[in-house]
Amino acid sequence: MRPKDQTKYNAIINSSLELVKELGFTGISISKIAKQANISPATIYIHFKNKEDLFTKLYTKIRTNMSNGALQGIHEKMDMEQIFKSIWINSFSYNLNHPDYLIYREKFEKTPMMENIKQEDFELYIYVENLFQRGIKKHIFKDLPIPLLISFAFVPIITLLNFHFEGVINMDENYIAEACEIAWNALNH
Amino acid sequence: MRPKDQTKYNAIINSSLELVKELGFTGISISKIAKQANISPATIYIHFKNKEDLFTKLYTKIRTNMSNGALQGIHEKMDMEQIFKSIWINSFSYNLNHPDYLIYREKFEKTPMMENIKQEDFELYIYVENLFQRGIKKHIFKDLPIPLLISFAFVPIITLLNFHFEGVINMDENYIAEACEIAWNALNH
């Protein structure tokens, strides 16, 4: 992409994020996004087939970024606890620094567009599923269905972030570490 | 209320639940509810000032029922673990048997109507906050902010129920008991 096109592309992405936050998916049109981005609707159609294509690609981009953020610095020599805690803290910090992404993700996942998304396309999903399978096999983790374990080990990240953004708790480094410890203990025998 | 009025009142409530599930709050009007309930809009205005009044009263009714369901059978002679686990299992079972209430609650809580709701009006909220304060004071629970503890101890109930209704896991009695154990351990030192 030429620098000028990249600037316009970024304006489309940022305007979409802002408008979804403000109006939700049902209230948005390509023309509203174009207006907000200060470009012509035709420019949007150079990059995206339609509204659904734009929203879906933006979701995929956000999930890929979250995935890369969460897996940063993970290497083979770490043990299971180090890997789990690194992913946990990375995920928390990445989302803490990108509140717009989290809002977009949560809203998108309530729409029928979600039917076109394959979880297996995201490295983090594969990695975590694998980690849990190994943990269960090695009798380090409880032998329970992975979604049950994830409900206690990872989903609270979303709850805690929402509480943080609403001002209910201030998730400082100390509380993040304590919460990560609870999540780790939830998995263990 | 006369039996005939009670029947109509119930029809309004049930139609509202169905329509919110189907269309969400933005897509609904008093006339749609009246049509679905097979009564005249005037009958709705006998019981409720307007749409917001109806939706808010329905939310309060649902929360009160959930609260009563969760606190059933709790008595003074139980210790903290018995109380926590009874509330946990009761809450899980109540919501498992009332999926429409859970959907309504989750949708309502994302609307601005939520600003008129005081959490302190629900016995369960008071009871749980009290339980956590006592638990922390007695050094049975971790000395962390209550919302942080609740994110691990109670919020996963919602996640697990959603997984159950989506067919991701089948939350049978065994898994409910295992999940309750994880929730209890999350609180403890």
Which residues of chain A lie closer than 8 angstroms to B147, CB-CB? 163, 168-169
Domain B1-48 is in which class?
mainly alpha
State in Å, rounded, how far the first CA of chain B is from the last one: 51
Rounded CA-CA distance A75/A132 in Å is 17
- Other C-beta atoms closer than 10 Å to the C-beta of B127 total 16
A51-187: CATH architecture: Orthogonal Bundle (1.10)
CB distance A60 to A121 below 8 Å: yes
Between the CA of residue A171 and those of A100, A177, B4, what are the distances in Å?
18, 10, 53
Identify the closest residue of chain A to B188 by CA–CA distance. Answer: A182
Mean residue pLDDT across chain B: 94
Beta-carbon contacts of residue A59 (< 8 Å; ≥ 6 apart):
A104, A105, A108, A113, A117
Identify the closest residue of chain A to B178 by CA–CA distance. Answer: A144
| Backbone phi, psi, residue A114, to 5° | -60, -25
**Domain boundaries, given as residue ranges, for chain B:** 1-48, 52-187
Which residues of chain B lie closer than 8 angstroms to A27, CB-CB? none
CB distance A171 to A161 below 8 Å: yes
The predicted structure's pLDDT at residue A52: 95
In this prediction the ipTM stands at: 0.89
Most A CBs within 10 A among B148, B160, B187, hence the mutation to make, goes to B148
Query: Given 3.40.630.10, 1.10.357.10, 2.40.50.140, 1.10.10.10, which CATH number is that of B52-187?
Result: 1.10.357.10
* Span B96-135, pLDDT tens digits: 999 999 999 999 998 999 999 998 889 999 999 999 999 9
Alpha helix positions (H), chain B: 3-23, 30-37, 41-47, 51-71, 80-97, 99-108, 123-137, 146-153, 155-166, 173-187
State in Å, rounded, how far the first CA of chain A is from the last one: 51
pLDDT above 70 covers what percent of chain B? 100
> What are the residue ranges in chain A where pLDDT is below 70?
none
Domain A1-47 is in which class?
mainly alpha
Predicted TM-score (pTM) of the model is: 0.89
- Which of B26, B142, B160 lies closest to A151 in CB terms? B160
The residue assigned the tokens 């803290």 is A89
